[in-house]
């Protein structure tokens, strides 16, 4: 198990963000894999909420999306999207996970359009529940690959709020959630300066340098004073990912 793929590093890093006993709002893809990994290891009592209103399922295989009926198996409740989003509004969600087409230095996200809104080059899926999660979950984590087209100086469209324009902006907008805490990429883990609210490099995956990460970010990014190497996946975590959680490599590419 000496070879570890970037997807496996990302899934394990994302799982570490979930604490035992929390309620986590989960989407499709790597967040789903990370949530199952956390539940199988250090966070057995985490309560998983899917946007479709499926609560804490125990599916026999990975679902293709939050509305896939395979996700219903073993669930404690199936209540619909209105119920799931109401948990956010009531302050019941500790952590949410989001993907994005674009992200800026303050953790604001675009999943709506590339180009002008009226005549875009690309029309993207839109917010879904992303704005709700980022606005009202107690904290949220972004999972995406690092490249200069994704990490941009200015978003084509602001779909989902991070720290908006900087310190105090979320509070001024009346957003109850604390905002983004991590951006997990295929090169390392980014966080946010507690004073400036700007993105910074906090952890590098093995073999990756801060310079390599900087080269894949489309804006100037600083390095945290306490930057370190990310913790490598354990043999147990890799075994779970490869043989039980995602053996077919649907969301996590295995080496």
What percentage of residues in the chain have a pLDDT greater than 90? 95
Q: Which one from 8, 17, 51, 202 is the annotated catalytic residue?
A: 51
Q: Is 214 annotated as catalytic?
A: no
131-168 residue pLDDT tens = 999 999 999 999 999 999 999 999 999 999 999 999 99
Q: Is the dihedral of CA 238, 33, 253, 162 positive or negative?
A: negative
**Domains, the chain, with CATH or none:** 6-245 (3.40.1080.10)
pLDDT score at 67:
86
Kind and range of the H or E run holding 9 = helix 6-16
pTM above 0.85, yes or no: yes
DSSP-assigned beta bridge partners for residue 143: 184
Nearest-Å Rg of the Cα atoms of the chain is: 18
Distances (CA, A) of 179 to 31, 109, 222: 17, 12, 19
3-state secondary structure 26-77: ECCCHHHHHHHHHHHCCCCCCEEEECCCEECCCCCCCCCCCCCHHHHCCCCE
């Amino acid at each position: 198990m000496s070879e570890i793929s970037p997807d496996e590093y990302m899934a394990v890093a994302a799982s570490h963000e979930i604490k035992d006993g929390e309620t986590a709002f989960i989407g499709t893809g790597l967040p789903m894999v990370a949530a199952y990994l956390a539940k199988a290891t250090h966070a057995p009592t985490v309560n998983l909420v899917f946007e479709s209103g499926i609560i804490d399922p125990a599916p026999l295989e990975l679902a293709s999306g939050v509305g896939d009926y395979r996700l219903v198996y073993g669930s404690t409740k199936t209540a619909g999207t209105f119920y799931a989003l109401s948990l956010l509004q009531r302050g019941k969600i500790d952590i949410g996970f989001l993907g994005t087409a674009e992200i800026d230095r303050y953790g604001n996200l675009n999943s709506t359009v590339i180009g002008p809104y009226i005549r875009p080059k690309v029309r993207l899926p839109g917010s879904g529940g992303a704005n709700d999660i980022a606005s009202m979950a107690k904290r949220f984590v972004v999972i995406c690959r690092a490249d200069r087209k994704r990490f941009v100086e200015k978003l084509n469209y602001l779909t989902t709020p991070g720290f908006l324009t900087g310190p105090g902006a979320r509070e001024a907008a009346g957003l109850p959630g604390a905002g983004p805490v991590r951006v997990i990429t295929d090169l390392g883990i980014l966080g946010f300066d507690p004073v400036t609210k700007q993105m910074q490099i906090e952890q590098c995956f093995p073999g990756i340098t801060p310079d390599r990460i900087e080269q894949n970010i489309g804006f100037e990014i600083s390095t945290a004073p306490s930057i370190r190497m990310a913790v490598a996946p354990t043999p147990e975590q890799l075994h779970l990912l490869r043989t039980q959680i995602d053996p077919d490599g649907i969301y996590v590419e295995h080496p």
